[in-house]
Chains A and B, each alone.
Chain A
Amino acid sequence: MEFPKDLKYQKTDEWVKIEDDIAVIGISDYAQDALSDVVFVEFEVEVGDQVAVGDTYATIESVKAASDVNIPVSGEVIEINDGLADSPEILNSDPYGEGWMIKVKIADLEELANLLDAESYEAYCNER
């Protein structure tokens, strides 16, 4: 199971990559493994929406589950990965790369302090 060190994480299994004031967001390897084969991704937000920590921004459907995915940092949605509509399985094969889900312009950089680093998140996953 992979936990890239340059990313931040939430206990609800989303990862965040900071690129200046933009947060790129997706689901972790642990999450895609638990879901197993993803068949559909439904976004609940649109480009331009203001989102807050904890808001549900998408629902990921696999054969055995349908899970909500939550915003880790507040701000404005600036981009959504359209490629997931045709190929939802990218979330399984490349959750940290091509499987990115949305990009948010960060409203409050201080919120990043609430996220876990790779080590803490990995430790958390090992306890579960």
Chain B
Amino acid sequence: MTEPRVFELSVKERVGFKFPKSDVPNYPLPDLLRRESLPLPEVSEIDVVRHFTRLSQKNYAIDLGFYPLGSCTMKYNPKINEVTARLPGFSLTHPLQPIDTIQGNLYLLFKLQEYLMEISGFSGITLQPAAGAQGELVGALIIRKYHLDNGNTHRTKMLIPDSAHGTNPATSAMAGFDVIPLPSDEHGNVDINALKELCDDQLAGLMLTNPNTLGLFDENILSVINIVHEAGGLVYGDGANLNALLGITRPGDLGFDIMHFNLHKTFSTPHGGGGPGSGPVAVSKNLIDYLPDPVITITEEGDEENPPLYGFHTPRRTIGRLKSFHGHFGVLVRAYTYVRMLGAEGLRDVALKAVLNANYLCSRLKGTFTLPYDRTCMHEFVLEGVWKDVPDIHALDIAKRLIDYNFHPPTNYFPLIVHEALMIEPTESESIETLDKFVEAMQKIAEEARSNPELLHDAPHNTPVRRCDELKAAKDLVFCCWPTSSE
């Protein structure tokens, strides 16, 4: 059932919302630059509400079902976080208010800074970056400035594993680095010999995801980091997979110099259909001066009677400001609430159960699907979505058929180093019943692939739309619908 576009619901002179009348005298508008026509839709409130309610019903969401999306950590988004983020004491504060009127906000940000540093084992942190990719840019720019400040203008190479997320090389290029791919070995670890060869005096750093996008913890992590450090480089940790490490180990302790968090993954803040995220970046002691401007700090110590005064500080060698104001405050409130409700024990429980769930699924599925790296996985694992005896079936077909079983497909075609990859991350939120149903569905699909492959090729069958013509979308390029009335 196609839902009309909001412009198509428009009826001339319908009013959806009214403001109070003006209580001030009338001032003439300037002659210059007056807008002549404003062809926005004219829709009543009931129609707006029905329109968007109906649209919402066409979506799959965590609140409806399981998302085994590797690398995304689609865990449950606690409802209390929605309440705390909306408290008027937070939502009605302007980012430029005088310091003494927003001590509550600054307290929360300061504490969250402390908690995230404690969880990850670092000495400095910024909460400003809007998303993981922005966090990566902070990391890359810090590495760049660090080397320049030390007179090392020749350190232009950034090593990036072949299994890395696309944002890693894109970010490095934006920071002016040459991207050098780093191969993995047959166990899914960084190829140590290749690493040693690439570590010369032009090395700026290594961007590493650990556990990596295969869901595997690098068995030589300490050596890898050491080799880079000995060559004078810095190690950046892509923290997308932190869900496996909460309370299990701290990247700062392992030797990482910088790391970004994805609060919308590890810390349960909602994905929102594509955002907003939040990507704080933590650094080791010798990089604190490079953090973006500003960081939250205590400007006046407190005593028995008075709390400390919180304020802003510009780091001495800052790479600069990364976005307006202070970061995604509404998202940070949610993350703060989550950390306060879980505590150390709860956070470790997250990692334990996430890894337990992933290994359980992996164990149950590896008979039916090819598991290219047969090791204990962390919070996710990668299967090949292809079988030799039915070469016409691809990962895409399996993914689409899963939708008919009311599951969102896993991440597919990533990481690039696995052929027809299906990356599965159950998260700690899912019960054994859900996991068993998922296994059942995957096994049925494997069977259907042999007995009735059309079911996979034509999938999905029962969704609001079926497989879409992406070629047509890329050729015809229709990005807007235009107002239907001539005004």
Contact = CB atoms under 8 A, between A and B. Distances in A.
Interface in B453-487: 470-471, 474-475
A62 B470 CA distance: 10
A63 interface: yes
A39 interface: yes
A37 interface: yes
A39 B477 CA distance: 10
Nearest to A36: B471
Interface residues of B, number: 4
Nearest to A62: B474
A35 to B, nearest CB: 12
Contacts of A39: 471, 474-475
A62 B471 CA distance: 8
Contacts of A37: 471
A2 to B, nearest CB: 22
Q: A interface, by DSSP: helix, strand, loop or mixed?
A: strand
Contacts of B470: 63
Interface string A33-52: 00001011000000000000
Nearest to B476: A39
Nearest to B473: A63
A125 B145 CA distance: 43
Nearest to A37: B471
Interface residues of A, number: 6
A39 B475 CA distance: 6
Contacts of B475: 39
A38 to B, nearest CB: 10
Interface string A17-41: 0000000000000000000010110
Nearest to A61: B474
Nearest to B413: A64
A39 B470 CA distance: 10
A96 B475 CA distance: 23
Nearest to B470: A63
Interface string B70-95: 00000000000000000000000000
A37 B476 CA distance: 13
Nearest to A88: B475
B169 to A, nearest CB: 14
Contacts of A40: 474
Interface string B174-187: 00000000000000
Contacts of B471: 37, 39, 63
Nearest to B475: A39
Nearest to B471: A37
Interface in B322-379: none
Contacts of A63: 470-471, 474
A22 B9 CA distance: 59
B397 to A, nearest CB: 16
Interface string A76-111: 000000000000000000000000000000000000
Interface in B284-335: none
Contacts of A61: 474
A62 B473 CA distance: 11
A49 to B, nearest CB: 24
Contacts of B474: 39-40, 61-63
Most buried by B among A40, A61, A62, A63: A63
A114 B471 CA distance: 37
A61 B474 CA distance: 9
B113 to A, nearest CB: 39
Contacts of A62: 474
A61 B477 CA distance: 14
A79 to B, nearest CB: 25
A50 to B, nearest CB: 25
Nearest to B469: A63
A17 B470 CA distance: 34
A40 B474 CA distance: 9
A60 to B, nearest CB: 12
10 contacts: A37-B471, A39-B471, A39-B474, A39-B475, A40-B474, A61-B474, A62-B474, A63-B470, A63-B471, A63-B474
Q: Enumerate the 10 nearest inter-chain pairs by beta-carbon distance, A residue then B residue, closest first.
A: A39-B474, A37-B471, A63-B470, A39-B475, A63-B474, A63-B471, A39-B471, A40-B474, A61-B474, A62-B474
Interface of B: 470-471, 474-475
Interface of A: 37, 39-40, 61-63
Given A63-B471, A63-B474, 8 more contacts: A37-B471, A39-B471, A39-B474, A39-B475, A40-B474, A61-B474, A62-B474, A63-B470
